[in-house]
Structure 1
Amino acid sequence: MTAPLHWTAAETAAKTFTNQWASDTPGGAILGFDQDGIRFALCGGAESLSTGKAFTSKSVVRYASVTKHAFCTFVLTHPDLISLDDTLGSHLPELQEPLARVTVGRALDMSGGLPDTREALSLLGLSVYTETQAPALLEFLARMTRLNFEAGTEVSYSNTGYRLVEAALERKGVFFRDYITKAGADCGAVLDAPDVWNDTVANLVPGYWHNGQKWQLSAAGLHISASGSMTGSAESLSFWLQDLLKNQDMLDAMAAPRALKDGRLSGYGLGLAKTTIGDRDFIGHGGSHPGYKTYFLLDRQNSCGFVIVSNREDTNGGKIAQSAMAALHDLALPVPSIALIDGLYVTETGANWLEVKGSTVVSLDADDTAYDDGQGWISSRSATSPMRLKMEGHDIVGEVGHAAHHYHPANSEPIAESVSGRWLSSEGARFEIDGSELIMGIGPTRRRMPLQALGGGRFLFTLHDGPWTKRVCLNVLDDSTVELVLNRARMMEYRRDR
């Protein structure tokens, strides 16, 4: 017998979040729905700080990476054109090895090791606001000759696989924007998928981020791609998901665990991530664009779920969705853990580093909450950034992204004089190291960033870019080569400019 669903409790849990969105700040909407329709719709804040108009369930936002599951439905409806077992190179012959050998399935399930395009551009010093177009980005990716890791050995989030698979399908004459607008209309949803930020979208509300003093309008220059191009309202997303829940064969194909090369199963499928609360598994996905945050979480057994959309950078959609789902099923949320000792840690060699602050663990600048996993272990409980670690003496051991790592406390060390000088990328970017500072940018964008030593020729510096703050690892490979590393892009090399 199916246990009763506590919709009143779920609505109460959701209301604690919408109540925090004041009428004179950006806001959002939280919807609960089942096979009979919308069970509750809660809204708070404003859809526009210029007009003061209240945010509603019909306010149109950017879904960002929530797009991924919809794009995977598009891929799976064209088995005559593309297969999950095809290599990317078979469809995009300009790609070089080892990117060309990555399969479509691994490109979509986050195990392909494909460097994330946006983070790669950050490592070249290009701002989130810098405009880029699809053809030039594809040429940029075609010049790459390194993966973040061997395909099939880890799971680490990257948008690039979706960009490449979309490009492959466009060459065959099928376009995601055409597909999603029609598929949305068929289920009563108004959905779109613009290519670039400045494309006109009917009724799109502005996004906002807070700079510490006031709210700012968001913007982005990157050609968006099907990794995060969809737009729509909370109501439209719920209509789309209600219809998708009726297509169990499609959901089975997308939610099925994906195997790594060694046979271990990942919690990330095809645009869907597994979330476990108590003894129950759910599926969903989040999305983040500058100024927009979205999330959905589905209970397939009961054909219900929750949708969260917002036009503010600080929304934690995952926390909201899990709180509502836990209340719906009367489940206990996982308990954050402080089993790891605070500090900065680094592997013996390479650019991998960790920072522990209470129950927050940062790996290569990607932060996750640590939850108790028994016997001293912590787990991120995340399919997109899996992590299981414990203390071993003063060290931290375990797995990040399903890859085994052994971290020891970082060592502060003098910055060797040999590292000073100018460094040049084959893409034309450059930076300079002057004593204990890294200098990047030109003219008024030129900035000095202090270097923090980790030991063994590894250093951190902090890059501020509009709503984003990134901590980049500079790793000395040899006397003439260094690499800049972020979680999603770990292969951007610079050579000494003599």
Structure 2
Amino acid sequence: MDTVPVMPEPVLPSTARLLLARTARTQREGRAPSLVAGVVRDGGLAWSAARGEVPEPHADVQYRLGSISKTVTAVVVMRLRDEGRLHLDDHLEEHLPGTPLGDRTVGQLLSHLAGASAESPGGWWERTPGGSLGELGLGPSDVVLGAARRFHYSNLGFGLLGELVARLRGTSWEDAVTAEVLAPLGMTRTTPRPVEPAAEGRAVHPWADVVLAEPEHHAGVMAAAGQLWASLTDLGRFGAFLLGDTAGVLDPATLEEMTVPAGVDSSAAGWASYGLGLQVLRVDGCTLVGHGGSMPGFLAGVFVDRDEQIGAVSLTNSTSGVDPLVFGLLTDLRAAEPRIVEPWTPAPSPLPLERLGVWFWGPSPYVLRSVGSDLLHLGPLPGRSGRASRFSPRDDGTWVGLDGYFAGETLRIAEDHLDLDTFIFTRTPYDPEAPVPGGVHEHGWQ
């Protein structure tokens, strides 16, 4: 029996007016020929609107996604990783031989740390028809930085990842992403080329209210970097995917892995980074994940707040000049309809209670506490600074760090001490009865 999809609860009328007012102002002030936008929660669009020359139903009109296509490409790469077909530390040469970036890894390409040129050689690929990988004629000049030296956004890098997907799947990039991502998510109005109804890409003159049609073509091997078109409804569904409604397309733990920033300290205020095919931003004290997109004639955005379980999407047919709308929509929705969190309920501790409480790293007090029935948290006392991480149990009785400074590190819990990556935490400061590294001075505390 077919299941009836659960429709998201609509936003309140007052919230709808607030969101519409922001959308209308963005379209007018940005002089966008047309603009559609929406907010996402509970699996899909909870509100949407259109401004400008948009045919009805507005949520079914296709716009070009631009670089949001990169995230779709990355999902297939991560599926290949989960299947054991590749590892993120594999050199590109192992799967796609013959390129000047062969010594760079798959993970570096996904996170724009491979030092690949920002653009492919030849004509501007976004405005000229593309060909095969061989026709690009890649050479040493397409490697512009050393591996893992710094973040450097690379359309070329994702073109290569799209070719990697095609080679390993034995099909085209388009067929792979359609079969493995778009179809399972029900994104039937997301296609490599426009299917009516679709907006025409426009450039708006900077000094006059006139427009110019932008070209549209297939980008060839560069398609994986920005080829896809989608409707607002489909982009909202992809937003729901980023919030965790993966429909079996990706393991939730793998999606979480994609959201982890590469090469930045995510505890610092006001940062922007890139995970594995996803932009990760800190905006107004909230961490947002998703991607922006631009192609000649189009701008797009999908960003979600995974903590609040809300997202926002927008599509417009203008080359430039339209301020990002999704961040403001998220701010409005968060303020107008704050999330009602699940109630706290008692849960059994994963450790005996006597193992929890205050432990000392040298003279510094830390608290080990349970989080629900299956996680631990070790961090400084409230009001003090220090390193903090959550830990998940392993089958051998140890615990592995999930985030923060101790991500990936092993925590071992003994009766009189904690052993965490050579750091020893004791019940009293520098307990002489515990295996404190370097020992404790024989005279003790004076």
Give the TM-score, by structure 1 length.
0.55
Q: Which structure is larger by alpha-carbon Rg, 1 or 2?
A: 2
Q: Structure 1 residues 55, 210: CA separation in 2 closer, same or farther (over 3 Å shift)?
A: farther
Equivalence for 1:433: none
Tell me, yes or no, if structure 1 residue 81 matches structure 2 residue 85: yes
Equivalence for 1:64: 66
Equivalence for 2:49: 42
Equivalence for 1:203: 197
Q: CA deviation at 1:146?
A: 5.2
Q: Determine the C-alpha separation between the residues in 1 that align with 2:205 and 2:125.
A: 16
User: Is the 1:74–1:176 Cα contact (8 Å) retained in structure 2?
Assistant: no
Specify the code of the residue in structure 2 equivalent to 1:117. E
Deviations 1:112-142 (A, max 9, x none): 1100234x435xxx6854333123444x22x
**Structure 2 runs not aligned, ≥5 long:** 1-10, 247-251, 337-446
Choose the corresponding residue for 2:325, options 294, 312, 320.
Answer: 320
Q: Determine the C-alpha separation between the residues in 1 that align with 2:315 and 2:325.
A: 11
Specify the code of the residue in structure 2 equivalent to 1:100. G
SS of alignment partner, residue 128 of structure 2: coil
Q: CA deviation at 1:184?
A: 2.5
Q: Determine the C-alpha separation between the residues in 2 that align with 1:178 and 1:7.
A: 41
Q: Determine the C-alpha separation between the residues in 1 that align with 2:322 and 2:263.
A: 29
Specify the code of the residue in structure 2 equivalent to 1:289. M
Deviations 1:276-299 (A, max 9, x none): 223221112100000011001101
Q: Determine the C-alpha separation between the residues in 1 that align with 2:57 and 2:213.
A: 16
Deviations 1:297-348 (A, max 9, x none): 101123220010111223546x3111111222339xxxxxxxxxxxxxxxxx
Q: Structure 1 residues 215, 259: CA separation in 2 closer, same or farther (over 3 Å shift)?
A: same
User: Is the 2:116–2:152 Cα contact (8 Å) retained in structure 1?
Assistant: no
Equivalence for 1:158: 154
User: Is the 1:190–1:236 Cα contact (8 Å) retained in structure 2?
Assistant: yes
Deviations 1:243-279 (A, max 9, x none): 342243232021012248xxx9972101211222232
SS of alignment partner, residue 178 of structure 1: helix
Q: Structure 1 residues 8, 66: CA separation in 2 closer, same or farther (over 3 Å shift)?
A: farther
User: Is the 2:39–2:310 Cα contact (8 Å) retained in structure 1?
Assistant: yes
Equivalence for 1:121: 122
**Identical pairs, percent:** 21
Q: CA deviation at 1:10?
A: 7.2
Specify the code of the residue in structure 1 equivalent to 2:61. S
Equivalence for 2:359: none
Specify the code of the residue in structure 1 equivalent to 2:307. Q
Equivalence for 1:310: 316
Choose the corresponding residue for 1:237, options 219, 235, 238.
Answer: 235
Give the TM-score, by structure 2 length.
0.61
Deviations 1:380-417 (A, max 9, x none): xxxxxxxxxxxxxxxxxxxxxxxxxxxxxxxxxxxxxx
Deviations 1:78-112 (A, max 9, x none): 1233221111122222113xx22111111111111
User: Is the 2:61–2:196 Cα contact (8 Å) retained in structure 1?
Assistant: no
Q: Determine the C-alpha separation between the residues in 1 that align with 2:310 and 2:299.
A: 21
SS of alignment partner, residue 271 of structure 1: coil
Q: Determine the C-alpha separation between the residues in 2 that align with 1:6 and 1:75.
A: 39
Give me the CA root mean square deviation.
Answer: 3.0
The structure where strand makes up a greater share of residues is 1
Q: Determine the C-alpha separation between the residues in 2 that align with 1:322 and 1:232.
A: 20
Q: Determine the C-alpha separation between the residues in 1 that align with 2:64 and 2:125.
A: 20
Q: CA deviation at 1:160?
A: 1.1
Q: CA deviation at 1:145?
A: 4.5
Matched residue count: 305
Q: Structure 1 residues 160, 34: CA separation in 2 closer, same or farther (over 3 Å shift)?
A: same
Q: Determine the C-alpha separation between the residues in 2 that align with 1:127 and 1:169.
A: 20
Equivalence for 1:215: 211
**Structure 1 runs not aligned, ≥5 long:** 48-52, 332-498
